[in-house]
Amino acid sequence: MTAQVRTFLALCSRDLWVTVRREPAGFLIQALLQPLFFLFVFGRVLPDIGAAQGSYGTQLLPGIMSLTLVLTALQNTALPLVIEFSFTREIEDRLLAPIAVPWVGAQKMLIAALRAIVAAALILPLGALILPGGIDLHHVAWGALLLVAVFGSLTAAAMGLVLGTVVQPARISIMFALILTPLIFTGATFYPWHALERLRWFQVVTLFNPMTYVSEGMRASLTTAAHLGSGWIVLGIGVAFVLFWALGLWGFMRRAVA
């Protein structure tokens, strides 16, 4: 094992240690509270009071998994980076570790993606408990689901890296408001993409949101319902992945080495 790989793993072990030993409750609350309420209100309350069809939950679950995956990954890179670069300066000790600087950024994304995958996986049992019809796992393509989860979370983590390094610390709360809300509501989360055909302009808008491809990827691997073409899903996630990793690592280098 080369020395830099050992350093990389040591950086990861610090993050895992903090997640598991210091703040497991904090992590779960941050990752799961919002999706829990979305699942309950949209998947249970609305059908129960007759404001949505009973089958809505089946369409909702993949969307909520995607939302959890993307938001957890994004927030777990963006927020710590903003804080560590400006207020606590904790990042400095890592940047001085004997490893090439881009790997420090890559390591941040990897851990954020891992946390996001754990959070998204926890949505499945939550869905089984909350949704009126439970969940149906007969048609799940597990391999495809895993691929969507891995690349979806890595892409979202890179979006977080871009936000956390490019945006001025003082403006981060404005940027979050400006970016998160559109991201959540244009990401094919609460509706399947193909159902937007009657609202063509909005359907086109959603294609600019990387989360749309993650949500549709989840829908494609979890259900038999109609979804965005698989090729488009792969292309969408692939393009976003390359774009945001390049931008994220560039931004990280710029912040790390003046």
What does the binding site for other proteins look like in residue numbers (CB under 8 A)?
A: 3-4, 6-7, 10-11, 13-14, 17-18, 22-23, 88-101, 256-258
Cβ-Cβ contacts under 8 Å for 11 (sequence gap 6 or more): 94, 97, 99, 104, 107
DSSP state string for 57-107: HHHHHHHHHHHHHHHHHHHHHHHHHHIIIIIS-THHHHHTSSS-HHHHHHH
Q: Shortest distance, CB of residue 256 to other proteins, whole angstroms? A: 8
Q: Which CB atom, from 70 or from 99, has the smaller least distance to other proteins?
A: 99
State the minimum distance, in angstroms, from the CB of residue 163 to other proteins.
21
| Separation between Cα atoms, residue 124 and residue 126, nearest integer Å | 5
CA neighbor of 153 nearest in space, from 201, 114, 199, 204? 114
User: Which amino acid is located at 37 in the chain?
Assistant: F
CB of 74 to other proteins, least distance (A): 20
Residue type, 189: T
Q: List all residues 6 or more positions away from 6 whose beta carbon is below 8 Å from its beta carbon.
A: none
Minimum distance from residue 213 beta carbon to other proteins (Å): 33
Give me the least distance between CB of 250 and other proteins, in Å please.
14
Q: How far is the CB of 4 from other proteins (least distance, A)?
A: 7
Q: Which is nearer to other proteins, 94 or 115 (CB)?
A: 94
Q: How far apart are the first and last CA of the chain?
A: 31
Between 30 and 186, CB nearer to other proteins: 30
Comparing CB distances to other proteins, the nearer of 97 and 118 is 97
Q: How far apart are CA 110 and CA 76, in angstroms?
A: 10
Nearest to other proteins of 3, 49 (CB atom): 3
Complex with other proteins: residue 91 or 157, whichever CB lies closer: 91
Residues 80/165, Cβ–Cβ less than 8 Å: no
- Other C-beta atoms within 10 Å of 195: how many? 13
